[in-house]
Chains A and B, each alone.
Chain A
Amino acid sequence: MAESSTTNQGRVVVYCGVCKLPPEYCEYGGTTKKCQEWLSKNHSSLYERIWSVEALEAATASLSVEAQERAAKDAKKKAAKAEAAEQKQAEKLSNSVVTIKRIERNKRKYVTSVSGLEAFGLDLKKVAKDFGKKFATGSSVTKVPSGGEEIVVQGDVSDEIEEFLLEKYKEIPEDNIELVEDKKKKGSAAG
Chain B
Amino acid sequence: MFKKEIHPGPKQKLKSSIQRSLRANFVETYPLVTPFIDDIMPKKASLEQMKLPDRVSLYVQDGIPLFFQHDNDALLPHLRLVHRFPQCFPTIRIDRGAIRFVLSGATLMAPGLTSPGGRLPRPDAREGKETLGEGAPNEGVDEDGRWSRELEKGEPVVVMAEGKEEACAVGVLAMGTKECKEKGKGPVIEEAHFLGDGLWRLNVD
Contact = CB atoms under 8 A, between A and B. Distances in A.
Contacts of B96: 59, 62-63
A74 B81 CA distance: 30
A29 B166 CA distance: 15
A21 B97 contact: no
B84 A20 contact: no
Contacts of B168: 25
B100 A28 contact: yes
A160 B149 CA distance: 66
Given A8-B39, A11-B86, A59-B163, A28 B97 contact: no
Interface string A57-72: 0110011000100010
Interface string A160-177: 000000000000000000
B26 interface: no
B195 A11 contact: no
A17 interface: no
A1 B100 CA distance: 22
A10 interface: yes
Interface in A114-159: none
A24 interface: yes
Contacts, number: 63
A19 interface: yes
A13 B99 CA distance: 20
B84 A10 contact: yes
B100 A13 contact: no
Contacts of A22: 83, 164-166, 195
- Best-surrounded residue of A11, A19, A28, A29 (most CB of chain B within 10 A): A28
Interface string B181-202: 0000000000000011000110
Interface in B145-168: 162-166, 168
A63 B7 CA distance: 38
Nearest to B38: A8
Contact of B97 (A11, A29, A71, A75): A71
Interface string B73-92: 00000000101111000000
A95 interface: no
A90 to B, nearest CB: 19
A12 B83 CA distance: 8
10 nearest CB pairs, A to B: A10-B84, A22-B166, A13-B83, A10-B85, A28-B103, A24-B164, A8-B39, A21-B195, A28-B100, A11-B84
Given A1-B165, A10-B81, A63-B97, 18 more contacts: A1-B166, A9-B84, A11-B86, A13-B84, A21-B196, A22-B83, A24-B165, A25-B103, A25-B166, A25-B196, A28-B100, A28-B195, A59-B163, A62-B96, A62-B162, A67-B97, A71-B100, A75-B100
Interface of A: 1, 8-13, 19-22, 24-25, 28-29, 58-59, 62-63, 67, 71, 74-75
8 contacts: A13-B83, A13-B84, A20-B200, A22-B165, A24-B166, A25-B168, A62-B95, A62-B162
Interface of B: 36, 39-40, 81, 83-86, 95-97, 99-100, 103, 116-117, 162-166, 168, 195-196, 200-201
